[in-house]
Amino acid sequence: MKIAVIGGGASGLFVAGLLSSKNYDVTIFESNEKLGKKIYITGKGRCNFTNCCANDEFLNNVVRGSKFLQSALSKFSPSDTISFFESMGMPVKIERGNRAFPKSDKSSDVIKILSDFSKNCRILLNHRVKKIYKKDNVFVVDGEIFEKVIIATGGKSYCATGSNGDGYNFAKAFGHNIITTRPALVAIELKNNYIKSLQGLSLKNVRLTAVCQNKKFSQFGEMLFTDKGISGPIVLTLSSYINRLNCDRLELDFKPALSIEQLDARLIREFSSSKNKNLSNVMASLLPKKFIPPFLNYLKYPLNQKVNSVTYEQRKQIVSLLKCWTLDYKMLYPIDTAIITSGGVDLLQINPKNMESKLVPGLYFIGEVLDVDALTGGFNLQIAFSTAYALADSI
C-alpha cells in the first residue's frame, strides 16, 4: 500500500517511521530543504519533547481537544515517548515540572532520531504539495497516486519553519470545517505608554489576572516586559485561555503572598524606619526600580516626595495598587510569533481512535493541524507523537 505523508515535522516523521517499519510504501513530502525544521527551535534549541506526567495530569494541560486526545494518549503516553527515544539511543533527562529533554540539550538529536527512524521512507525535500484530490478510491497528490494520505502539515505559527497553513486548505478542499485559528502561547501587546521604559524587566512570583467578559483567568509565576507588552511563562499560558475572548484588562498583583492587611503592615514598618527618605527610594524594596517612575507618576506623587509626608490615604492607595495594577490589554502578538496555533481541523469530523477523516475514508490528520493545543511543558510535541501513533497503530 502506498501512503503519502504531507509534512516532515514531528508528527509526520514519527508516523512515517512507524508505517515504514510495518513495510508500507511511505513517501514523505516536505516543503523545506531539510526535515524537522520547527523541532530545531523547540525548547529554545533544547527540545522539550514530552512531559513525563500521568495521562490525567497531561490532559489538564491541554487547552483544546483534551477529550479527543484521551484515546491517542492512552495508546502512546509520555512514558512511551521517553522509552522510544531511549531505545533509539538518546539519553533523556527530566527537569522541573516533569519536562523531558535530550540529555545533550540538543534538539538536533531529536531530529536525527526521527530522521533515522523514517530513513526507509521515500523522502521528497523541497516539495511543497500543491494539490490533493480523490479519484475513485485513490488519492492524487501532485499527480502521484496513493491509497492513503496523512496531513501532518502543522499549524501556521513560525511559518518560516514551513508550517504555513496549507493543511487547512487541503482539509477545506475535502469538505472539512476549520475552527478559526488564533495565536496561542503568545505574548500580549499593551496600550500603556510607559511599557517601552520597562522593556527587559522580569517579574518573579507575581500573579497576573486577565479579566475577560466577566470571566477571570489567573496565573502565578514569572513574566517579563517586551518592547510592546508582556511575555514570559504566565503570559503565554494566559494567552491560550483568552485567545477567543474579548479581554478587558489585565491585573497585576506584585505581592500575591501578602493580604492587603499584611502588605499595609509592611508598608507601615518600611515607612517608619525611613521617614526622611524619598518615597521613590523606599518603594525600591517593594517594586523593581524600573517600575517606580510609572507607579508614582500614576499616583501623581513627585519622585522626591518624602516618606514622612505620605498620608494615610496615599498609603492605602499604594497598597491597593501593589495588589492590583491595571495593564491595558491591546491584543495578542501576531500568530507568526505564537508557539502554537489554536484552532484547525474540526475534531467532530475526525475519528479520535485513528485520526481518520469521518468525511473521506483514507484521509488522516495528525499533530498541530488539528484543533488541539496545550500549554508549554512538552505537551504539544507529545500530541504530535500520540496522534501519529494512534494512526499508525490502526493501519
Ligand X SMILES: Cc1cc2nc3c(=O)[nH]c(=O)nc-3n(C[C@H](O)[C@H](O)[C@H](O)COP(=O)(O)OP(=O)(O)OC[C@H]3O[C@@H](n4cnc5c(N)ncnc54)[C@H](O)[C@@H]3O)c2cc1C
Give the residues lining the site for ligand X (CB under 6 A): 6-12, 29-32, 37-39, 41-43, 47-48, 128-129, 152-154, 157-158, 161-163, 166, 339-340, 367-368, 378-381, 384
Of residues 296 and 339, the one with the C-beta less far from ligand X:
339
Residue partners of 305: CB distance under 8 A and separation at least 6: 278, 279, 280, 296
Residue 36 CB, shortest distance to ligand X, in Å, is 7
How far from 62 is each of 14, 47, 165, 248, 360, CA to CA, in Å? 21, 19, 21, 24, 27
Of residues 8 and 229, the one with the C-beta less far from ligand X:
8
Of residues 327 and 339, the one with the C-beta less far from ligand X:
339
Count, residues in the chain? 395
Cα separation, 242 vs 63, in Å, equals: 11
Residue 200 CB, shortest distance to ligand X, in Å, is 20
How wide is the angle at C-alpha 330 spanned by C-alphas 162 and 202, nearest 5°? 80
Of residues 44 and 300, the one with the C-beta less far from ligand X:
44
Residue 148 CB, shortest distance to ligand X, in Å, is 16
Cα separation, 342 vs 145, in Å, equals: 32
Residue 71 CB, shortest distance to ligand X, in Å, is 18
Residue 171 phi/psi, 5-degree rounding, is -60, -45
Of residues 219 and 382, the one with the C-beta less far from ligand X:
382
Are 231 and 224 in contact, with CB atoms under 8 Å apart?
Answer: yes
Of residues 301 and 365, the one with the C-beta less far from ligand X:
365
Residue 213 CB, shortest distance to ligand X, in Å, is 28
For residue 120, what is the DSSP state?
T
Residue 122 CB, shortest distance to ligand X, in Å, is 14
Cα separation, 22 vs 394, in Å, equals: 11
Cα separation, 42 vs 378, in Å, equals: 9
Are 180 and 343 in contact, with CB atoms under 8 Å apart?
Answer: yes
Of residues 209 and 342, the one with the C-beta less far from ligand X:
342
Residue 115 CB, shortest distance to ligand X, in Å, is 12
Are 184 and 352 in contact, with CB atoms under 8 Å apart?
Answer: no
